[in-house]
Amino acid sequence: MTIHVRVMHDGEMTEYAFDRAQVRIGRGPANDLVVASRAVGITHGLLCTIAQQGEIVFKSPASDLAQETLLVRDGRVLAELSGEKFEKVVVEAGDFLILGGHVRVEILGTKSVKKDVEDVFETHLLEQAVGGQPLAEFAQYYLRASEHLVGEHRLIQRLLSELVQLTSLGLHGEPDAITLLMVSAQDEFHDESWSWDASLGRVELGEESLCEVKKGGDPLARHALEISAWAKDVLREGMSYLSERPSETTRSVYMPLMRGGEYLGYVMVRMVLSDGEDTSSMEAITVRALASLSALIVNSYQLGRRLNSVQEENRYFKEHQRRHYLFKELICESETMKEVHARMQSLIQSPEEPVLIAGEAGSGKELFGRALHHLGARKDGVFISVQCGAMSEEVLGVELFGCVASELSGALAARKGVFELAHGGTVYLEEVERLSLSLQGKLARVLREGEVRRVGDSVGRQVNARLIVSSNASIAELVREGQFRRDLYMMLKEGYLEVPPLRERREDILPLACNFLRVYSKRYEKSADDFDAQVRQMFASYDWPGNVRQLQTLVEAAVLRSHPEARFVTLDDFKF
């Protein structure tokens, strides 16, 4: 089905075609057709197609937040919708809807209608309800429940059990289901949900009995924010609302969880209506009490998430432990290395600029990457190193950019990628040439827009991490061969730093070897503190195809072979 409309606003005319049976119109960002005008309500109304009748219907939500709408046909006003109550009107091709007296929407027609969406939810704000004092029994139970929740480790299960009891007392009805949903900082990204419904039993925990609670995958939680865009905006404004279907015998109350002005999630309580019972006059004080009880878990929940995040990040934070000896290996006795050091100093002064470090394997590229981080403005942030050639493309994509909980990806929980974990710090990618062209494109997006998108997610997240990459190959040659994206290379090459091989800086060989000797003699409790003449001559004549890494490995092995009391490491201690 396709709904065609033409919008005229502030002298501009734009046509839209929506391939769906229902189009939400309003100024809120969750709408299908967003109209940036204060004359238009947050969710002003819905355009729906009705399969059986072949009609288009405009529906106005019952809300004080909605503005008036006029239906104009052939120059005459056929209907005037005030927005104070739920109303609907049939529209035809050629009709005009005047939103808030300012924005004109022309109906151009519809095609291929296949779905009946007539039965929609009606929603009503609860903040306008006038209620008295809650029942004494309810107030006493509320106080006891609050005390239990403050020190309770099983917060979610305890909370839903208490809400079931409080709902029965405070709302004078029979609760049918309760859902708690916590969302991430990004809109529409559902992190975790817990639910109870009447079909579940109870679980015995010690001397007490609590409701059985399901975690995740609850259809009520997934459906709740799909009721209407207006409902989403109302929750994010910190207001509660009641939702109902005229064809059903249940009503649901949605109460937001807020901290300051931040929307953290909601609690949904669904009530079963008895014959002749009307819960539309639910006491506002009871609703607020239920919401405040739910909010007791917010701080504990957020604290728990932060603790889990710290555990996940600990494997990266251990990099800080290496600071005390990192730069003893940055020996610059040769003129060649002095030039490299001067170039590094200029890059340290630009902590936002991405850097490409080139050089042969084992030449010390990662050491320079660490120096750029720890000697610069980002030294207080984390340094995360990733070996791009050690993982498959799928695993590397999750490692770099994170993922959402998804049955398709097999991820049981959302996970941050290294760019999110290194916020304020540095990400170092070794062997960047091993990235696929697809991942190179995502990397270019990070540099271009400062945004990452988790695998399986449609929401971008802003990140602030410096990117340093290294390569053993010629990136320029790979670009010519079509194996590396030109746009990514152009963004990286401005921060180019080349580390020469060890054979081109022979003045650095002996100082480096002496530094390694001191480190390993102390580690393995040996007495050697120098090399004999033959070893020094070998250092000067050997070509060192494995560069600094090979020198470090050979010195360590020689120290292990040396006699514990020998002062000098001899040539016999080396094996090539």
Q: How confident is the model at residue 555 (pLDDT cuts 50, 70, 90)?
A: very high
d(CA 466, CA 378): 8
| Residue 228: CATH number of its domain | 3.30.450.40
Domain boundary residue among 255, 272, 307? 307
Per-residue exposure over 102-139, b if at least 16 CB sit within 10 Å of its own CB, e if not: ebbbbbeebeebeeebbebbbbbbbeebeeeebeeebe
The residue ranking higher by pLDDT, 242 or 54, is 242
pLDDT at position 545 is 92
| Residue 376: CATH number of its domain | 3.40.50.300
Residue 354 lies in a domain: yes
Same domain, 520 and 482: no
Task: Report CA dihedral (244, 248, 249, 254) to the nearest 10 degrees.
Answer: -20
Residue 224 lies in a domain: yes
Residue 127 lies in a domain: no
State the CB neighbour count (10 A cutoff) for residue 527.
12
Q: How many domains does the chain have?
A: 4
Domain boundary residue among 67, 85, 119? 119
Same domain, 345 and 303: no
Same domain, 115 and 227: no
d(CA 194, CA 213): 7
pLDDT, mean of residues 15-31 = 77
The residue ranking higher by pLDDT, 267 or 11, is 267
d(CA 432, CA 489): 11
Same domain, 18 and 104: yes
Q: How confident is the model at residue 412 (pLDDT cuts 50, 70, 90)?
A: low
Same domain, 342 and 483: yes
pLDDT at position 269 is 81
> 202-228 pLDDT, tens per residue?
666 566 677 777 766 544 444 454 556
The residue ranking higher by pLDDT, 324 or 526, is 526
Whether 485 shows a pLDDT value over 70: the answer reads: yes
pLDDT at position 82 is 74
Whether 557 shows a pLDDT value over 50: the answer reads: yes
Same domain, 298 and 432: no
Same domain, 141 and 278: yes
pLDDT at position 31 is 76
Domain boundary residue among 273, 307, 341? 307
Same domain, 154 and 78: no
The residue ranking higher by pLDDT, 324 or 468, is 468
Least confident of 67-71, 82-86, 199-203: 82-86
> 308-360 pLDDT, tens per residue?
555 555 544 444 444 433 455 567 778 888 888 889 989 998 888 999 999 99
d(CA 58, CA 24): 10
Residue 316 lies in a domain: no
Residue with tokens 């000098």: 568
Q: Range of 448's domain?
A: 330-498
d(CA 402, CA 216): 20
Residue 124 lies in a domain: no
- Give the percent of the chain with pLDDT over 90: 18
Residue 323 lies in a domain: no
Query: Which alpha helices (H) appear in 318-392, and where do they start and end?
Result: 335-348, 365-374
Quick one: how far is CA 421 from the chain centroid? 11
pLDDT at position 483 is 92
DSSP sequence for 253-280: EEEEEEETTEEEEEEEEEEEPPTT---T
Residue 436: is it exposed, middle or buried by C-beta count within 10 angstroms (0-12/13-18/19+)?
middle
Same domain, 513 and 567: yes
Per-residue exposure over 351-390, b if at least 16 CB sit within 10 Å of its own CB, e if not: eebbbbbbbbebbbbbbbbbbbbbbbebbebbbbbbebee
Least confident of 124-128, 264-268, 530-534: 124-128
Mean pLDDT value across the chain: 76
Same domain, 148 and 192: yes
Evaluate if pTM is beyond 0.75. no
| Residue 528: CATH number of its domain | 1.10.8.60
> 241-258 pLDDT, tens per residue?
777 766 667 777 888 877
pLDDT, mean of residues 500-527 = 90
Residue 125 lies in a domain: no
Kindly tell me the sign of the dihedral angle through the C-alpha atoms of 430, 431, 432, 434. negative
pLDDT at position 309 is 53
pLDDT at position 137 is 58
Which one of 148-152, 285-289, 415-419, 502-506 scores highest in mean pLDDT? 502-506
Same domain, 150 and 285: yes
Q: How confident is the model at residue 199 (pLDDT cuts 50, 70, 90)?
A: confident
* Under 8 Å between Cβ of 402 and 415: yes
Same domain, 171 and 70: no
| Residue 90: CATH number of its domain | 2.60.200.20
* Under 8 Å between Cβ of 352 and 446: no
> 426-453 pLDDT, tens per residue?
999 999 999 999 999 999 999 988 888 8
